[in-house]
Structure 1
């Protein structure tokens, strides 16, 4: 690759690392900022969730806007908004102000995520260079998730809680300075203005489904949460019908008729479902079953995150020797094996098997992640790269929400089924069993739940491997793009 390409990749990797770090660093800062701002439990949830809700809700919209008004221009505008909102969040005097600042950060993040991937497509027209760039992109994203709790801990030890939000300011300033010279611009001057009803429908569908899914996962089945999800699905179907009849749709449904694109999005979504559910139950297991502190639990999750970042960098190198479809299918089978390893964890001594299983599963999943995205971006014209990137990111957000709701509900059902009669005080969660006579039986019941999640995850990964190998088996490892 040329020096300009490397500079562009470095510039695009920085905001990617920051966006993931900005999410995970808040987990450490939340207790302190909640105490100092006097945030209620409901306000704490909104401080955490409003960012991801609006990030997911605006991805499709921002993908379309970037293609009309310019991807680099949208990225730089989002960077400026992100920097300003970060300062507002750092010095927020009330929980309501912080929630509002986090909302702006989510919208700004939605301009950055698809723009970075689409600009990589323009920056690296050769497939092997695109694979390498996307490997760095994924490694940066994973690295941010890994560094977040550590950086947050250091900042909370030395500064006030608002310092966690100021991390983004110098990065965004640097992006604004070097971005215009280092990044290419892409703009489809003939693209029509985005359809406003479609914008509203896509936002409503995503917000309703994700919020309803999270409510189901955290609070169990309720008529309100189910109605939210059902309403979101209904709006999504209406959105699809509208796109089918518009002369210039917000989302090109023809993208999904491309088998490569449809398969890759399915795998991305499915991988998010399994890993979100697995990480949720693993965190609860480490803290509530094995009795680790949140920080200790976070440290035990580091091997999996580090392995994912390293494998994402190695995947493009491996793709020079083996077909992408074989690496992707084989990686998903490795992930299935890792999920089965988790089923060997016990209620008192399962930390080794749990961490090993999660690490193997993330290694396997990181092989197809960047490579399949490279195939997907390479399978469409360059002017549709923004749409593909936004759909991929939206699918990832949906996958996380569905994984938390679905596998979280499965784990809860198995846990409750394993409790004996009279254990009503601990039926809500295994954490409630601490200090009660039901602690041992609750540990066993939740460990059984972890095993079931491992089996379900292994089956889903195996099915995705079969789908990938069957549908993409004729896809060469490397092919020119554009």
Structure 2
């Protein structure tokens, strides 16, 4: 008579053990999410140290930042397809091992060329991490309610990592060399390599489509020339080279779309973009990330190289804005049930545009407190708007297209990170070069370094007599801040454009 009770007790114990394993597995799968989101913000705080140590040109510095999200964006969809074919857990482990090894190589890079190549490889292996983690969550959590909570926690890891980035970066850079920001990957990935085979079951698509190599190549050939062309035109003005390379990228993009229509199982389904709310939400995310990442690029340098703050102190200045971004993303959920997206998203983005406009109106001459306040406004609006737009991306496609929709959303984020530094960073660099006045008596090498970047000017100033150093720093800081004012106006325009897109494309969205 006691058998049913024993069986029930045993079943409950098994379910409890399984539930604990699921949540531990979630914690392990959060590690690469935290790593990549921390990496996106921590590198901005290492830019001054990298500039002084390796003395890159302005263009090299931008490519060192851009090549990672560029490779990531170009390969996310194709790596998701590869994971469906060979196994998502296997792809995650391959990506983790490669990312850790290349991170060590990047930490001890002897030249800027080495570091750019290492960043490209980090993008290659990083593209294996993100699609795999989200896909594996769907296999770990079979209960729908648990899965919904797990995916929400997974998504919050991006914002949490962005908030931790400045703090972790500041602590590392105050105590160690710039290479320490790359070594951060090792203690995060080693537990993953050990625990994933134990806790996470293998998962693959039982009927995967074929891996289409031409589509992968076309996606890369689309983005690389376009980003290069934007950089070149911002730096040198419109010329034949800039126009030709952009046309090459656009042509490859057209060929990519035409090929997707012909494939039985396309790498990216173009039909998704016929839905106004879907394409509008993707564009809103893209422009918001361009503005956010571009702002981080110049604000982090202003705090350290103009205001003279330590990396850790500069990190704390930005933390309130990143924390507010997390809070806004959660707090907007009940509001979104009552307010139409076509009203809520533009209203949120207008707050962000106001923060950007305040920086622009200051002409770049802004205090640390002013940056903390304006960056908080930027984070408040973007955090709220992106929560709504991400939900629209998933709900405005058929259920069987949810995976493809997620890949498109992640690609928009990474492409936005590329364009953020490509557009705003290049404008800032070009403005700095045009405005900086170098003192007499500098060698050719010193002139090249000080004339390219503010970090280079700080390094050269350390080699000069006091009067000459003071004159160089004053000129370089004024030149940099004038570029910040111009870049901030561009950022304001981008956020306003996203608000207009939300107003027009989300009219029928619920």
- TM-score, length-normalised on structure 1? 0.78
How far apart, in 2, do the equivalents of 1:193 and 1:88 lie?
33
Is the 2:285–2:413 contact (alpha carbons within 8 Å) kept by the matching residues of 1?
Answer: yes
User: Partner of 1:364 in structure 2?
Assistant: 381
Q: Deviations over 1:133-154 (max 9, x none)?
A: 4443343223333333432343
User: Partner of 1:22 in structure 2?
Assistant: 39
Matched, 1:333 2:347: yes
> Which of residues 76, 79, 86 is equivalent to 2:96?
79
Q: Return the offset for 1:233.
A: 1.4
Matched, 1:460 2:477: no
User: Partner of 1:177 in structure 2?
Assistant: 194
Distance of aligned partners of 1:241 and 1:71 in 2 relative to their CA distance in 1, 3 Å threshold: same
How far apart, in 1, do the equivalents of 2:409 and 2:72 lie?
13
Is the 1:64–1:386 contact (alpha carbons within 8 Å) kept by the matching residues of 2?
Answer: no
User: Partner of 2:460 in structure 1?
Assistant: none
How far apart, in 2, do the equivalents of 1:448 and 1:180 lie?
50
Q: Deviations over 1:292-324 (max 9, x none)?
A: 557355443222122223434x25xx5367528
| DSSP 3-state at the match of 1:319 | helix
Is the 1:216–1:409 contact (alpha carbons within 8 Å) kept by the matching residues of 2?
Answer: no
Matched, 1:301 2:318: yes
Q: Return the offset for 1:107.
A: 0.6
Q: Return the offset for 1:286.
A: 5.5
Is the 1:72–1:183 contact (alpha carbons within 8 Å) kept by the matching residues of 2?
Answer: yes
How far apart, in 2, do the equivalents of 1:332 and 1:323 lie?
16
User: Partner of 1:104 in structure 2?
Assistant: 121
Q: Return the offset for 1:171.
A: 1.8
User: Partner of 1:168 in structure 2?
Assistant: 185
User: Partner of 2:417 in structure 1?
Assistant: 400
User: Partner of 1:204 in structure 2?
Assistant: 221
Distance of aligned partners of 1:192 and 1:168 in 2 relative to their CA distance in 1, 3 Å threshold: same
User: Partner of 1:264 in structure 2?
Assistant: 281
User: Where does structure 2 lack aligned partners over 5 or more consecutive residues?
Assistant: 1-15, 439-450, 458-469
> Which of residues 179, 195, 199 is equivalent to 2:212?
195
Is the 1:53–1:106 contact (alpha carbons within 8 Å) kept by the matching residues of 2?
Answer: yes
Is the 1:214–1:404 contact (alpha carbons within 8 Å) kept by the matching residues of 2?
Answer: no
Q: Deviations over 1:180-226 (max 9, x none)?
A: 34445442232232111111111211222233334445665554334
Between 55-64 and 224-233, the greater mean CA deviation after superposition: 224-233
How far apart, in 2, do the equivalents of 1:166 and 1:364 lie?
33
Is the 2:26–2:137 contact (alpha carbons within 8 Å) kept by the matching residues of 1?
Answer: yes
- TM-score, length-normalised on structure 2? 0.74
User: Partner of 1:119 in structure 2?
Assistant: 136
Superposition CA RMSD, Å: 4.1
Is the 1:339–1:357 contact (alpha carbons within 8 Å) kept by the matching residues of 2?
Answer: no
Q: Return the offset for 1:60.
A: 2.1
How far apart, in 1, do the equivalents of 2:124 and 2:93 lie?
13
Is the 2:109–2:115 contact (alpha carbons within 8 Å) kept by the matching residues of 1?
Answer: yes
How far apart, in 1, do the equivalents of 2:386 and 2:150 lie?
12
Is the 2:358–2:374 contact (alpha carbons within 8 Å) kept by the matching residues of 1?
Answer: no
How far apart, in 2, do the equivalents of 1:131 and 1:215 lie?
44
Q: Return the offset for 1:291.
A: 4.1
Is the 2:436–2:479 contact (alpha carbons within 8 Å) kept by the matching residues of 1?
Answer: no
Q: Return the offset for 1:350.
A: 6.0
How far apart, in 1, do the equivalents of 2:328 and 2:243 lie?
38
> Which of residues 57, 67, 74 is equivalent to 2:84?
67
Q: Superposed, which structure 2 residues align to 1:429-468 within 5 Å?
A: 435=471, 449=486, 452-453=489-490, 455-467=492-504
User: Where does structure 1 lack aligned partners over 5 or more consecutive residues?
Assistant: 474-482
Q: Return the offset for 1:438.
A: 8.2
Is the 1:188–1:383 contact (alpha carbons within 8 Å) kept by the matching residues of 2?
Answer: no
User: Partner of 1:319 in structure 2?
Assistant: 333
| DSSP 3-state at the match of 1:189 | coil
Is the 1:83–1:169 contact (alpha carbons within 8 Å) kept by the matching residues of 2?
Answer: yes
How far apart, in 1, do the equivalents of 2:171 and 2:429 lie?
34
How far apart, in 1, do the equivalents of 2:481 and 2:193 lie?
53
Between 60-69 and 82-91, the greater mean CA deviation after superposition: 82-91
Distance of aligned partners of 1:121 and 1:65 in 2 relative to their CA distance in 1, 3 Å threshold: same
Q: Return the offset for 1:440.
A: 11
Q: How many residues align?
A: 461
Distance of aligned partners of 1:389 and 1:350 in 2 relative to their CA distance in 1, 3 Å threshold: same
Q: Superposed, which structure 2 residues align to 1:127-276 within 5 Å?
A: 132-183=149-200, 185-217=202-234, 221=238, 223-276=240-293
Q: Which has the larger radius of gyration?
A: 2
How far apart, in 2, do the equivalents of 1:445 and 1:396 lie?
28
Is the 2:424–2:491 contact (alpha carbons within 8 Å) kept by the matching residues of 1?
Answer: no
User: Partner of 2:3 in structure 1?
Assistant: none
Q: Return the offset for 1:9.
A: 3.0
